Each structure stands twice: as C-alpha cells, then as structure tokens.
Amino acid sequence: MDRRTFFKAGWGAFGLAALVSGVGVSLVAVGRYLMPSVFYEPPQAFKIGTPGDFAFGAPSFLVDQKIYVFRDRDKGFAVASAVCTHLGCTVAHFQSDQKFHCPCHGSIFGADGGVQHGPAPRALDWYEVTLARDGQLRVDKNKVVPPTYRLMV
Amino acid sequence: MNIFREIYQSIVRRDPLSTDKGKTELVFLNVWLHIHPAKVKKEHMKFRHTFYLGFISFFLLLILITTGIALMVYYRPYPAAAYQDMKDLQFVIYMGPFLRGMHRWAAHGMVACVFLHMCRVFYTGSYKKPRQFNWVIGVVLLLLTLGMSFTGYLLPWDQLAYWAITVGTNIGSYAPLVGGMLKEVLLGGHSVGEGALIRFYVLHVAVLPLLVVLFTVVHFWRVRKDGGLSRPVWKLKAPKTAPLVQIGGTAEAVPLAVQAASTEKTYGLMEVVTGKPIFETVTPEEDDDAVFSYPYAFVREGITLMATVTTIMSMAIFLRAPLEELANPAKTPNPAKAPWYFLGLQELVSHSALLGGVVAPALMVIALLVVPYIDRNPSRRPRDRKWAIWLFTAFVVVNLVLIVIGTFFRGPGWALVPPWVHVTGGAE
Ligand code: HEM
Ligand code: FES
C-alpha cells in the first residue's frame, strides 16, 4: 500500500466512523428526548383521610388513586390496587362473592387478590398503609406488601 | 386574444389531446400523471384482476388527509378540551358530524381495503419475482395503516378511546426487554393521560401520515419499475419447456437455450429515455392490447375515485360516528372492546397477554414479510400453487373468525355470549 492509498483509506475509515457515531449519538439523543424527564402525574404516596372516614364492611373505592380501602373490625386497614395486572383495566369488587372482577378479559381475583380465573399473570398488588403524624392514613404505591398486611388503628 | 393563448400554452406545454403525441405528452410532461406509463395494457385495467383495491386504498387515504386537516381546525389535543371539541363537532360546528363521519368511515374502509388488496395480491401471486420487495413495502403500509387508526382512536377522549388505548399500550408493555420503556415513551407517562394524548396526536397527524405518503410513493414507483402490474392469472399460459435451437444440426451439437422475450412487462417512455431498444420486444399481439393511458386508464381511475368519495359521503350522511361518554379512568366499561380490526388481537390477548398480544402478532407480521422469499414456486397459476392458497386462506379465516368472536360473541366480563342473547348491563 502506498502513502496515497493509505491516506485515502484512512480518511475513508475516519469519515465512516464519524458518520456512524454521529448517527448513533443522534438516535440515542432522540430516544432520550422521547423519554419524559418529568411526569406530571399524581404522586405515588398520598394521604387518603382519617380512619374515621372509612366504614366497616364493604371496601371504599378511591376513584383518582384507583385503590380499594378495606376496613375490618378486628383486622384493621388494608389497601388493594384496583388495576388489573393483565392489561390495566379497573377491576370491580363484588360484595356478593367478595372477589374482584375485571371487565376487559374476564380475570377474577379472590379476596386476597390472588388470580382465580382468566388471563391475569399475577395477583393484585396490596400497598403499604400507615398512620401519618396528623392522624391521616397514608398510602404508598411504591411499597407493595403481602396480602396479609394490616394496619391496626 | 393572443395573450390568453400565450398564457394557456405557458401552463400546458403539450400538443392537442387529439393527437397521439399530445396524449403521450399529457402523461409524461405532467408531474402528477407521469407515474403512469404513456400506454397501458387493457388487461391490467380489468376490474376482476385488481378489483381496483389499491386505488381505492389510495383514494381513501386522500379523503383521510383532507377531512383530517379540516378536523384539525377545531380539535385541541389535551384532555380538558379534546372531548368538548368532539361534542362541538358533533352538535355545534357546521358540517361537523359529516366531516367526522367521513374521516371515521374512510379510516375503517382503508383498513379493510388495504387488507383485501393484500389478499388480491396474494391470490394472483403478484408478489413473485420481480415484485418481492414491493410486497414487503406493502406489509409496511399495512402496519402503518393500522398504526394510523390506533393512534386516531384515542383522540376523541371518550370511554371507548381511553380503554382501548389503555389495553393496547399495556399489550406493548409485555414485549420482552423493551416493553416497559416502549410504553413509557408512547404514553409519556405511566398511564393514559395528557402526555399520551399529545404523543398520539403527533403520531396521528404528522409522523405516520408522512411515512404512509412516503411509502406509498415508493410503492407506486416500484409498481412501474417492476414492469407494471402483473398479468391477470387467466392470461397465464402453462409453462412451456424452453424452446431449443440447434446450431449445426448434428446429433452431438450442444443445444442453445433461447430465452423468449418477456411478456410480463409494459414498456413506457421512461425506458425510451434510458435508451434501451425495447420496442422490438413487444409482440404484435401485445401491442394490440396497449392503449393510451389518456383516456383509457384515467377514466377508470376517475370513476373509482368518484365511487369511493360518493360511498364515503353517503355513509357519513346516514351513519353517525360513535361518541361515548367522557373518558373516565375509574370506570372501565363492560365489556371494553378495541376497534373491530383489533378484536382478533384482543381475543388472543384474553387467553395470554404475552403469547397472544406479542408473540402471535409478531410471528404473523414476520410470516407476511417473508412470504415472497419462502414461496419459491415460480408459477402464478392458481392450480400450480394449491398449498400457498390453502395456507393463506387459513391465515385469513383464522383472523376473521377471531374478529367475529371478539365482535359478536363476547359480552360483559368477556364471557362467551352469542349475539342473539340479550344482556342488560354488566353484573352489579
Ligand atoms: C396504504 C396501503 C396501500 C396502497 C395505497 C396501495 C396501492 C397500490 C396500487 C394503487 C397498486 C396498483 C394496482 C392495484 O390497484 O392493485 C398496488 C399494487 C401492488 N401492491 Fe399495493 N397498496 C397498499 C398496500 C399494499 C399491501 C398491504 C401489500 C401486500 C402486503 C401490497 C402489495 C402490492 C403489490 C405486490 C402490488 C403489485 C401487484 C401487481 O403487480 O399485480 N400493497 N398497490
Ligand atoms: S385487563 Fe383485566 S383481564 Fe385483561
């Protein structure tokens, strides 16, 4: 290889590398740009009111947070997610059979949230609920707890 | 009067249409018409060869673009406004329901026609050499068409929209490795909300239409460059064994195979420009079948355009595009159904999200993409390709059956309910 072809090949390789890395970096940047940096969504941990706001027996459904709040006389508070683990429809809790029914593809979850029927791949989530200093109940959706978890008040 | 003549001739630079030269120049001096050949073969324009489905798909695309631009004038893509604007379009705005209806029915029609067009291309074996790659471009167009309707579906921001997209994007999140990220990028959040609405809007009015138009241009260009349309199957003759010519005539002489001139190609002015001596290859019999595109092809295309527009307009007058209640993230309608062309997918998903929602559709798309490369059978005659026809028919039937089950046989809780049983409301 003489000097000339050597330099030609060198410049060619350099150009190609520049092109490839330029395109690559741009693609990564576009991908990163499309990933939101801020989410203007409701917070994952929130207060839902004082224990006295909740009746015994049938669970209360909180619309904005998509959770069911259970209050049992001996066992205390528990909070279940109302979002079906299959494809995200909102499940309905039936008093008649104490189960959660999903309208979209017919999944049924038992009283403990476990899958009993249908395509849902895993049980409904239960979230940690604690008593905040101001006497309100505080739910944290980032903290998934076992279905046996209860807050005694 | 000379000034008018001068103006006219500065715009229209061709000989009068009464002359052959004028007819030719009309096509190839005109930027809009020059995608046509100057002459077409009558057999290509036969209705029972193409059913004009490709043209109809294209004309529906034109209707969608025009009515879509009209709707954009009033539609504001954020949750507080979107549904209200749909209500306004439905009840307040002059011609609102008509425009919405045209857009909606043309969208449904386009999905159907593109699919039927694909079936026509398959059954006539028109994806075979040299048209393999145009089939691949076609599959991309089919996917883009489905993408357009999927993104458009969210925009009314009613219950139907909200839940169809919630289910649809959650299917995507089952994709291995990239699933979660895919959903976040598509929705601009973790659930369907204002981030999702604006992103779907951008895809629906800018990104996807641009891609559809670009790929359509390539698709048309390829039809020309692949030698025009394929011949109708009923014109195909049984393959002859190659004629042999013997030079010299002694018994040991090596026979020379002679390739017959292609009977598959239409030749246009394009080829003349590149300087290939091509007219020699057209046999007199074929020359008889060739006519000037003006008026033969243009009249037929024009009639198809008018029929398409009239049909969509009448549908828009008599059938109102549906609009349900305002999107309510807390209350899932029962049953929550996707648009009809996705109900087959939803039916699969109701059995398994990963297998039915990701694996099966991915396999179907891959199978469609490779069709022209795994079908090595050179013959396009139906009787020579029974296997291919059976397989493809099975593919079509399975899809249709799934759609029919999803549409008519699924009731509240996605339970099997035949359409003749009347269910009032969901349980509780
Ligand atoms: C936006 C969607 C599409 C449009 C607007 C479109 C348009 C057209 C048009 C106008 C033709 C000329 C002949 C005819 O009317 O049949 C054509 C031919 C063709 N199309 Fe499409 N098409 C679309 C999608 C597809 C799809 C989904 C496939 C297959 C997967 C496909 C494969 C082909 C092939 C292979 C040809 C050549 C057929 C032949 O030579 O006989 N196209 N297309
Ligand atoms: S979303 Fe609940 S079963 Fe599919």
Q: Model confidence over A98-143: pLDDT tens digits?
A: 999 988 888 999 999 999 988 888 899 999 999 999 989 999 998 9
Q: Which residues between 137 and 176 in chain B have a beta carbon less than 8 angstroms from any beta carbon of chain A?
A: 163, 166-167, 170-171
> Is B178 in the A-facing interface, judged by CB distances under 8 Å?
no
Query: Is residue B189 one of the residues assigned to a domain?
Result: yes
- The fraction of chain B above a pLDDT of 70, given in percent, is 86
Pocket of ligand 1 contains residue B357 by CB under 6 Å: no
| Cβ proximity of A110 and A99 under 8 Å | yes
- Asked if residue A102 has its Cβ within 6 Å of ligand 2, the reply is yes
Min Cα distance A109 → chain B (Å) is: 13
Residue B28 belongs to some domain of the structure: no
Counted domains in chain B:
1
For chain A, give the percent of residues with pLDDT over 90: 52
Q: Which residues of B touch A39 (CB under 8 A)?
A: 189-190, 195
Question: What b/e sequence results for B33-65 when a residue is b if at least 16 CB atoms lie within 10 Å of its CB, and e otherwise?
Answer: ebebbbbbbebbbbeebbebbbbbbbbbbebbb
* Inside any domain, residue B118: yes
**Where is average pLDDT lowest: A140-149, B310-319, B418-427?**
B418-427
Mean of pLDDT values over B318-341: 84
User: A67-72 and A45-49: which strand pairing?
Assistant: unpaired
pLDDT at B281 (0 to 100): 44
Contact A104 B167 (CB under 8 A): yes
Q: How does the average pLDDT of chain B come out, rounded? A: 86
pLDDT at site B264: 58
Residue type, B13: R
Residues of chain B neighbouring A36 (CB-CB closer than 8 A): 184, 188-189, 195
CA of B114 to the centre of ligand 1 (A): 8
More confident residue, A57 or B85: B85
- The ipTM (two decimal places) reads 0.79
Our CA angle for B407, B408, B411, nearest 5°, is 95
Chosen from B332, B409, B417 to mutate, greatest number of chain A CBs within 10 A: B332
pLDDT tens, B131-144? Answer: 999 999 999 999 99
The contacts of residue B92 (CB under 8 Å, 6+ apart) are none
- Cis peptide bond N-terminal to B277, omega within 30: no
Q: Flag whether residue B350 sits within 8 Å of chain A, measured between CB atoms.
A: yes
**Is any ligand 2 atom within 6 A of the Cβ of residue A131?**
no
CA B53 to ligand 1: nearest atom = 15
DSSP string, B363-402: HHHHHHHHHHHH-------GGG-HHHHHHHHHHHHHHHHH
CA dist B7 and B366 (Å) reads: 54
- Domain containing B328 equals 51-231+320-414
Tokens of B349: 């998903």
Is the Cβ atom of A83 under 6 angstroms away from ligand 2?
no
CA distance B172 to B333: 21
Residue B279 pLDDT > 50: no
CB contact under 8 A, A88 and B191: yes
Helix (H, G, I), strand (E, B), or coil: what is residue B41? strand
């024009």: which residue's tokens? B302
Could you give the CA distance from residue B195 to residue A40 in angstroms, rounded to a whole number? 9
Does residue B396 have a pLDDT over 80? yes
Closest approach of chain A CAs to the CA of B72, in angstroms? 24
| Distant-in-sequence, close-in-space partners of B220: CB < 8 Å, separation ≥ 6 | B35
Please check whether residue A131 is in contact with residue A137, taking contact to mean a CB–CB distance below 8 angstroms.
yes
Q: At B290, which helix (H) or strand (E)?
A: strand B290-292
Burial label, B109 (beta-carbon count in 10 A; 0-12, 13-18, 19+):
buried
**Are the beta carbons of B330 and A64 separated by less than 8 Å?**
yes
Mean pLDDT, to the nearest integer, of A76-103? 91
From the CB of B114, is ligand 1 less than 6 Å away?
A: yes
State whether residue B411 sits within 8 Å of chain A by CB. no
Q: Does residue B242 form part of some domain?
A: no
Q: Which residues contact B70 (CB under 8 A, 6 or more apart)?
A: B99
**Of B42-46, B107-111, B282-286, highest mean pLDDT:** B107-111
Is residue B405 predicted with pLDDT exceeding 80?
Answer: yes
**Cβ of B152 below 6 Å from ligand 1:** no
B315 φψ region: left (φ > 0), alpha (ψ -120 to 50), beta (else): alpha
Mean pLDDT of B167-187: 85
What is the structure's pLDDT at B178?
83
Whether residue B329 lies within 8 A of chain A, CB to CB, comes out as yes
For residue A83, how far is its CA from the centre of ligand 2 (angstroms)?
9
Residue A136, pLDDT score: 92
Index of the ligand 2 atom closest to the CA of residue A107? 3
Contacts of A41 (CB under 8 A, 6+ apart): B189, B190, B191, B193
Residue B24 lies in a domain: no
Residue B245 has a pLDDT of 52
> Do the beta carbons of residue A92 and residue B424 sit within 8 Å?
no
Q: Reply yes or no on whether the pLDDT at B220 is more than 60.
A: yes
Give yes or no for B413 touching A (CB within 8 A): yes
Sign of CA dihedral B85, B88, B90, B96: negative
In a domain, B310, yes or no: no
Residues with Cβ within 8 Å of residue B379, at least 6 apart in sequence:
B125, B239, B385
A116 torsion bin: left (phi>0), alpha (psi -120 to 50), beta (else): alpha
For residues B116-140, give the mean pLDDT. 96
Structure tokens at B323: 């609009």
Give the pLDDT confidence of B228-278 residue by residue, as tens digits.
Answer: 899 898 888 776 555 555 555 555 545 555 555 555 555 555 544 444 443
B78/B154 Cα distance (integer angstroms): 11
Residues of A in contact with B334 (CB under 8 A): 103
CATH number of the domain that residue B357 is part of: 1.20.810.10
pLDDT value at residue B280: 36
Looking at residue A82, its pLDDT comes to 93
CB atoms A119 and B353 under 8 Å:
yes
A103 and chain B in contact, CB less than 8 A: yes
Position B307 in a domain: no
pTM (2 d.p.): 0.84
A150 close to A78: Cβ distance less than 8 angstroms: yes
Cβ contact, residue pair B335, A104, below 8 Å? yes
Confidence of residue B336 (pLDDT cuts 50, 70, 90): confident
Q: Report whether pLDDT(B287) > 70.
A: no
Looking at the DSSP assignment, which residues form a beta bridge with residue B163? none
Report if residue B385 sits inside a domain.
yes
Query: How close is the nearest chain B Cα to the Cα of A65, in Å?
Result: 9
